[in-house]
Amino acid sequence: ALSAKNVPQAPEDPLYGLVNAYLSDKSDKKIDLSVGVYRDDNAKPWVLPAVQKAEQLYQCDPDLDHEYLPIAGLPEFINAAQRLIVGADSPAIRESRICSFQTISGTGAVHLGGALLSRFLPLPTPAIYLSSPTWAIHDQIFNNVGLAIKEYPYFSSKTKMMDFDGMISVLGSAPPGSIILLHACAHNPTGVDPTHDQWGKIAKIIRANRLFPFFDCAYQGFASGSLAQDNFAIRYFIDHGFELAIAQSFSKNMGLYGQRVGAFHYIACPGSGAQEIVERVASQLAILQRSEISTPPLFGAKIASIVLNDKEICADWEKDLRTMSGRINTMRESLKQGLDQLQTPGQWGHITSQIGMFSFTGLSKSQVLSLREKWHVYMVETGRISMAGLNSGNVRYFAEAVDDVVR
Ligand code: PLP
């Protein structure tokens, strides 16, 4: 008879295992630098004032109900999310060669894109290339939809900068038709992004080798504080006529983590038939979406839609983005200053040159474990820290802890 008796025990998710260890630590000095969530200067979750305003407006809406959304999601959210990610003046919108679906946040968008690509790529299905390292869940998501996974070099642990030559060399030898997963900005986990000039070179090799770019955009506005600046790469590729896919998340930039707000976008390259291509893609996305989640959730999309469509609230949101990215940058400066003052051995310039939620500190696994055991500092074993876990009350303590474990 069918039984689960042979189902093996799976390991706990390493990140959430760490969160549990942090929660059960009784020390009043403990610091959580593990999960990528924004915290204010008191180490508390921050509901963005713009989001609060939108929630109030929504609660007062006399037409508020709890009906199902359409399969593709809330139209006014989807349209605004589309304008945000490609730019309101984008040729992709003007020429009706973009289709967009509301998803279960960025994770769901990566998954929906993976499911689409794995189902409709020509056989034999090419591989998807992920940066080494990348967000830990990419590998699992693409595995789940049956895509073969390969890696391209991205980060040099020696220089703590991009391994640009390594990346270009592997992209240059990837078989045509391969999917290349790119982080649009604020690369997770390294905090290292290509320069504009490097993006140009990446686009060139992708074009020359007929590869397919799939952008994961989980931090628009969160990296530099500017929505447009953080989307340089996506707009560059669209302006240069690429066919591409985008996974968009509103978890970090609107602080809507638990509401699961995101979108998947597919853009056809310009030319006759582009509109029909995206119509056909949309018809297939509708089938996938219906069979997996039926229709996406309502509340978060309503809130995000109010923020994006109300001029005044949207301006407030841009201010909130500057508050978050500004505080994180201040923490980068303070940490670097602390390490300099303590004359901590090693080079720490990367702390301030990296961008976004994370920093790849270069601390070794044994140093990370000492930080946990001796100093009650919780971070993942790769040495990545979530900068938002630092604040004016604990950054000096963290610098002292790092100084201790590297000596
Ligand atoms: N992609 C990247 C690179 C991420 O860092 C994250 C979150 O950490 C996500 C996607 C998905 O986030 P969510 O599903 O919460 O929107």
Max intra-chain CA distance, the chain: 67
CA-36 nearest atom, ligand 1: 8
pLDDT on residue 275: 96
The ipTM assigned to this model is 0.99
pLDDT on residue 13: 83
Residue position matching structure tokens 């042979």: 6
For the chain, give the mean pLDDT: 95
Q: Which of 132, 193, 249 to mutate to test ligand 1, by most ligand atoms within 8 A of the CB atom?
A: 249
pLDDT-derived band at 196 (thresholds 50, 70, 90) equals very high
CA-187 nearest atom, ligand 1: 3
pLDDT-derived band at 243 (thresholds 50, 70, 90) equals very high
* pLDDT surpasses 80 at 319: yes
Distance 3 CA to ligand 1 centre (A): 35
Short-list 361, 355, 354, CA closest to 379: 361
Residue 91, Cβ density class (10 Å: 0-12 exposed, 13-18 middle, ≥19 buried): middle
> Could you give the residue numbers annotated as active site?
135, 216, 252
Q: How do residues 279-293 score in pLDDT, each as one tens digit?
A: 999 999 999 999 999
pLDDT-derived band at 12 (thresholds 50, 70, 90) equals confident
pLDDT on residue 15: 86
* pLDDT surpasses 90 at 398: yes
Binding site membership of 216 for ligand 1 (Cβ less than 6 Å): yes
Distance 188 CA to ligand 1 centre (A): 9
Distance 134 CA to ligand 1 centre (A): 11
CA-357 nearest atom, ligand 1: 5
* pLDDT surpasses 80 at 125: no
Protein residue whose Cα sits closest to atom 2 of ligand 1:
218
pLDDT-derived band at 17 (thresholds 50, 70, 90) equals confident
Q: How do residues 167-184 score in pLDDT, each as one tens digit?
A: 999 999 999 999 999 999
pLDDT on residue 158: 86
Binding site membership of 185 for ligand 1 (Cβ less than 6 Å): no
CA-257 nearest atom, ligand 1: 15
Give the C-alpha separation, 340 to 334, whole Å: 10
* pLDDT surpasses 90 at 254: yes
- Mark 35-63 as b/e (b = at least 16 C-beta within 10 Å): bbbbbeeeeeebebebbebbbeeeeeeee
Conformational region of residue 186, where left means phi above 0, alpha means psi within -120 to 50, and beta covers everything else = left
Protein residue whose Cα sits closest to atom 7 of ligand 1:
218
Amino acid identity, position 190: T
Protein residue whose Cα sits closest to atom 8 of ligand 1:
36
Protein residue whose Cα sits closest to atom 9 of ligand 1:
106
Q: How do residues 85-95 score in pLDDT, each as one tens digit?
A: 999 999 999 99
pLDDT-derived band at 274 (thresholds 50, 70, 90) equals very high
Binding site membership of 218 for ligand 1 (Cβ less than 6 Å): yes
Helices (H), 87-231: 91-94, 105-120, 136-144, 164-173, 196-208
